[in-house]
Amino acid sequence: MNHINLNIEWQNQKLPIVNGIIYSDGSLDWINVDYVGDKRKIQFGSRIHLDDLLSNNEVGFSNIIINKKTQSFYKKINVYCGEGSFGGDGFVVVETQNDLHIKWIAFFETANPFEKIDIIDNKVIAYNNLNEKWIFDINNLSNLIIENY
């Protein structure tokens, strides 16, 4: 069985092209984000594993560009945001400060590039070039909120 090492892919500036949250163990929560009128609609799907997608040849990789980085010494994390190689992609990566291992990745094909990132309380907030802020609750990543700013 094939295996995806997220840390190696990250070091090589590549991320899996998926829509959702990828955890350090390779599990993935599918999240579909579409427009309904001028507002975003978030639909949560099932949990699968990246290795299953890889073994079925159902996952590709995007070269990425990191646009911003921030960190929280209190939470001991580094947080990055940026864009993929297809123009509409946006990502957020959270890694541990002590060993630089991935904690989680949010990658969305329709997010557009994330240009700014903040950590406020228990939230990671990514701002894209569509004047949206994507709010990820560190304690409950399935509680994604998208707002205009």
pLDDT reported for residue 87:
86
Q: What is each CA distance from 31 to 67, 106, 127, in whole angstroms?
A: 23, 10, 18
Provide the pLDDT confidence category of residue 3 given band limits of 50, 70 and 90: confident
Calpha distance 28→15 (Å, rounded): 13
pLDDT reported for residue 38:
85
Number of H helices, E strands in the chain: 2, 13
pLDDT reported for residue 37:
87
Calpha distance 146→149 (Å, rounded): 10
Contact 4, 50 (CB under 8 A): yes
DSSP assignment letter at 17: -
Domains parsed from the chain with CATH numbers: 6-148 (2.40.10.480)
Provide the pLDDT confidence category of residue 127 given band limits of 50, 70 and 90: very high
Entry pTM: 0.95
- Taking all residues of the chain, what is their mean pLDDT, rounded to a whole number? 95
Calpha distance 95→3 (Å, rounded): 20
- pLDDT by residue (tens digit) across 80-120? 999 999 889 999 999 999 999 999 999 999 999 999 999 99
Q: Does residue 1 surpass a pLDDT of 60?
A: no
- pLDDT by residue (tens digit) across 27-49? 999 999 998 988 899 999 999 99
